[in-house]
Amino acid sequence: VPAVYSLDGLLAFGLLLVCTCAYARKVPRLKAWLLGEKRGVWGVFYKAAVIGTRLHAPVAAACVLMALYVLVGK
């Protein structure tokens, strides 16, 4: 079964998306190119960037917990 179809794979994908978009928001060229639209399909990246910057502490804790789960729990 591919990892995207499992719950832990979906959570890892979501965390990586939020972290990547939050990083892209800090880079001016990437912010204008990737995060310019607030609606539609490209708006998902904008919303993920907003979640990553506003909730940076819980997102970082979730990344650490997911890393521990992948390394130790699986």
CA distance 49 to 56: 10
**Residue 4 burial (C-beta neighbours within 10 Å; 0-12, 13-18, 19+):** exposed
Say whether pLDDT at 61 is over 90.
yes
Say whether pLDDT at 40 is over 60.
yes
Largest Cα–Cα distance of the chain, in whole Å?
39
Say whether pLDDT at 6 is over 90.
no
